[in-house]
Chains A and B, each alone.
Chain A
Amino acid sequence: MTGDVTIPDPLELERAEEARLRVAAGLQPAERVRSEYAGFESVGLPDRPPQTDREREVYTLAEGEMLVNMGPQHPSTHGVMRLVVKVRGEVVTDIDPVLGYLHRGIEKLCENATYTTVMTYVDPMDYLASMHNEHAPAIAFEKLYGIEAPRRAEYIRALVVELNRVFSHSLMMGFLALDMGGITPILYGFINRDEIVDMLSAISGQRMLFNFFRVGGVNFDANDEFFSRLGTWRSHVAKNVEMSERVITDNEIFRARTIGMGVLSGKDAISLGVSGPNLRASGVPFDVRKAHPYSIYPELEFKAITQPAGDSHARYLQRIAEIKQSIHLIDQIVDKMPHGPVQAQVPGIIRPKPGRAYAAVESPRGLYSVYAISDGGPNPYRFRMRDPSFVSLQAIPKLMPGHLIADTMAVMASFDPVMGGVDK
């Protein structure tokens, strides 16, 4: 009615203030917030009392704040992750990532599988870098068993691993642009990926979850079709990469949305455990292939590249530089590849002596490591994988406050997490 004025009731205010304090202290579950706009009940807080300090911090709304749920299904293509974003208007004030929507229990399954079957279980973890997922367990199991793979097997391993890195990085470029609304680069990314993946299917039989590495080598030798496709690919890859990056690198919108966004300092990155291209884009020259060389990397000539800036654009440029570095590495590998066997003669079910082994590789997302304990039996006693995306995701609540909600996805895409690895 016109002329109606509501006078706030001081007792009501007092009670509300007390309730707020009790809620903040965790003594009382928060009440559901009623929204008048939507016409139905919209809940602002979780329906159970917050369990931890940090949860209380995130789910307590100050004046003018709102919780937005970027649920497990959202148009960004990183997989199933849920971000509960606390916004004031359009500006993000806090983020709580909720993981576990793809947790498949791979570590537990591997404790019940033989050492060779473990290779099939670790493939779908970081499904864009399956070769790296298998490389680390292969090295760890070889350390446990006390053997080395033949030289040619090591060269083939390095070759497929670098090919995997190339297509993973070109997909990242595509996803970064896709999360900002550009459709073309992802098409280019998938064209590049399809070409490499056809090559890898010629050598391993599978397009995606390769199951290629074995304890003591690789499963199949490189055949004529593989080398023919590799030659064709090498002849035009530089042009393809240049074409893919030219679409976005100097694009005004892309630059406005990535330069200065999500700046991560080197010190923060080290403290948070970020690794790989994300860490090197913040200026820290930590590359596992250089720091703790494995396989044939001591014989290859390359440098750890870094970018000084530490923002999304630097992470993007870092990946382009790494694609070029990988192409250079592939050239060296193909030149130097020796002849010989590709798999050591190991029994079908290996029983390493009791012991512990730790093996780390450089995956396209960072430091990917495996800690394996053997008790002398056919199954690993403990098989632990450390996934780089899992640890890098901790940077998001640190970086995002202060940015707009639309930049959340852009910055996340520049970190290039893959939920299969995050959730194991």
Chain B
Amino acid sequence: MANLRRPRPAAGGLGRRRSLTARAGAGALVRLLLDRFGDLATDLWTDEDTVEVRIDGTRNVELLTVLRDDAELDFFYLADAAAVDYGPGVRFEVVYHLYSDKHPAWLRVRANVDRDDPHIPSITSLWEGAMFHEREMYDMMGIIFDGNRDLRRIYMSPDYRSFPQRRDFLLPDDAADSSAAGVNPLERPETWDLTRVSEELAPGVIDRAEGQS
């Protein structure tokens, strides 16, 4: 088995710093996006391997269609469609990640969605595989995708009435504080059947249980 007691060798500091320069070719993508979508995009940002575009949610289909069909951009693969909740009163965000053979960076499209009336056009007409992503975003966050033919819950039961991944849906801090704590008889010592406990095999259990109950 692994020798778990061997001390870990020191790495000498915090590890090597990441090289933060964008890879060659991502600059071309950034320039291309600026040319094409100067009016559409509200923000543009790049890191070592990702270029990020922020748009308003209502124009996502427009932007993604051009990104997919244009020969120079050619972002043919939808890698991920995710939803982010920034809190009650702030906004939702639907984030798409796209891949292209011609550019060495992932393209991230962040679309703003109003939190109080969360509607955004569906992209299932562009990629059929977005269907399950959108169903999951609806199930977990409550974002409505207009034009989605099958917008129903996918993870929770069909009669579930909350949206679990919103920021105002809180998990209990401690299992003992949850509304279901102590339901299990094993969690309540007064219900233990002490006739089955042997002092030899489990010393101290009877004393502790009787002390508690």
Q: A residues near B, CB below 8 A?
A: 48, 51-55, 99-100, 103, 105, 107-109, 112, 142-143, 146-150, 201-205, 216-217, 220-221, 223, 225-226, 268, 270-274, 286, 291-292, 340-346, 356-358, 360, 367, 369, 371, 373, 382, 384, 386, 390-391, 393-394, 398, 423-424
- A146: chain B residues at CB < 8 Å are 17-18, 20
| Residues of B that sit less than 8 Å from A by CB | 1-4, 6, 8-18, 20, 47-50, 52, 76-80, 82, 84-85, 95, 97, 99, 101, 104, 106, 108, 127-133, 136, 140, 149-158, 164-165, 169, 171
A105-B164, A273-B127, A391-B129 as given contacts; A216 in contact with B149, CB under 8 Å: no
Identify whether the interface residues of A are mostly helix, strand, loop, or mixed.
Answer: mixed
**What separation, in Å, do the CA atoms of A391 and B3 have in the docked complex?**
40
Contacts of B4 in A (CB 8 A): 205, 220
A341-B82 contact, Cβ under 8 Å, with A393-B132, A394-B128: no
B128 touches A147 (CB 8 A): no
Which of B2, B49, B82, B130 lies in contact with A371, CB distance below 8 A? B82
Give the complex CA separation of A226 and B3 in angstroms: 11
Q: How many A-B residue pairs have CB under 8 A?
A: 168
How far, in whole Å, are A148 and B15 apart by their CA atoms in the complex?
6
Contact B11 A143 (CB under 8 A): no
Instruction: Tell me if B128 and A271 are in contact (CB < 8 A).
Output: yes
Contact of A149 among B8, B15, B130, B150 (CB under 8 A): B15
Cα(A252)–Cα(B17), bound, Å: 56
- A282 to chain B minimum Cβ distance, whole angstroms, is 13
Q: Are B2's CB and A223's CB within 8 A?
A: yes
Indicate if the CB atoms of B156 and A369 lie closer than 8 Å.
Answer: no
Tell me the bound Cα distance from A371 to B164 in angstroms: 18
28 contacts across the A-B interface (CB closer than 8 A): A48-B158, A52-B149, A55-B150, A105-B164, A147-B17, A147-B18, A150-B11, A150-B15, A201-B1, A217-B11, A220-B3, A221-B6, A223-B3, A225-B1, A292-B104, A341-B11, A343-B11, A344-B16, A345-B10, A356-B52, A358-B50, A369-B80, A373-B84, A384-B84, A391-B129, A394-B131, A398-B128, A424-B155
CB of A205, distance to nearest CB on chain B (Å):
5
Q: Tell me the interface secondary structure of chain B in the complex.
A: loop
Instruction: Please tell me if the beta carbons of B13 and A345 are within 8 angstroms of each other in the complex.
Output: yes
Inter-chain pairs besides A99-B155, A367-B79, 14 sampled, C-beta below 8 Å: A48-B158, A147-B16, A147-B18, A150-B11, A205-B2, A225-B1, A225-B2, A292-B106, A345-B11, A345-B15, A346-B15, A358-B80, A369-B80, A386-B79
The 4 A-B residue pairs with the shortest CB-CB distance, nearest first, are A273-B129, A344-B15, A54-B150, A100-B155
Q: Which residues of A contact B132 (CB under 8 A)?
A: 390-391, 393-394
Known: A52-B149, A202-B1, A369-B80. A344 touches B154 (CB 8 A): no
Distance in angstroms between the alpha carbons of A340 and B95 in the assembled complex: 39
A38→B82 CA distance, assembly (Å):
46
Q: A292 and B97 in contact (CB under 8 A), knowing A99-B155, A343-B8, A346-B15?
A: no
- Indicate which residue in A103, A286, A371 contacts B155 across the interface (CB closer than 8 Å): A103
Task: Select which of B9, B50, B76, B129 is within 8 A of A394 by beta carbon.
Answer: B129
Say yes or no: B49 contacts A205, CB within 8 Å. Answer: no
- B151: chain A residues within 8 A (beta carbon): 52
A147 touches B15 (CB 8 A): yes
B11 contacts A148, C-beta separation under 8 Å? no
Establish whether residues A344 and B129, one from each chain, have CB atoms under 8 Å apart when the complex forms.
Answer: no
Cβ contacts under 8 Å, A51 to chain B? 152, 158
Provide the bound-state CA to CA distance between A109 and B169, in Å. Answer: 12
Least Cβ–Cβ distance between A142 and chain B, in angstroms: 7
Contact present for B131 and A142 (CB under 8 Å): no
Q: Return chain A residues, CB-CB under 8 Å to B47.
A: 143, 357
Distance in angstroms between the alpha carbons of A270 and B79 in the assembled complex = 10
Measured CB to CB, the nearest residue on chain A to B13 is A345
Known contacts A291-B99, A373-B84; decide if A148 and B164 are in contact (CB<8 Å).
no
Interfacial chain B residues near A344, Cβ < 8 Å: 11, 13-16
Residues of A within 8 A of B15 (CB): 147-150, 216-217, 344-346
One of A108, A292, A367, A373 near B165 (C-beta < 8 A): A108
A52 to B124, CA, bound (A): 15
A274 to B127: give the CA distance in the assembly, Å: 11
Task: Check if A342 sits within 8 Å of B76, measured CB to CB.
Answer: no
B80 contacts A384, CB within 8 Å? yes
| Inter-chain contact A386/B18, CB cutoff 8 Å | no
What distance in Å separates the Cβ of B26 from its nearest Cβ neighbour in chain A?
A: 12
Nearest neighbor of A100 in chain B, beta-carbon distance? B155
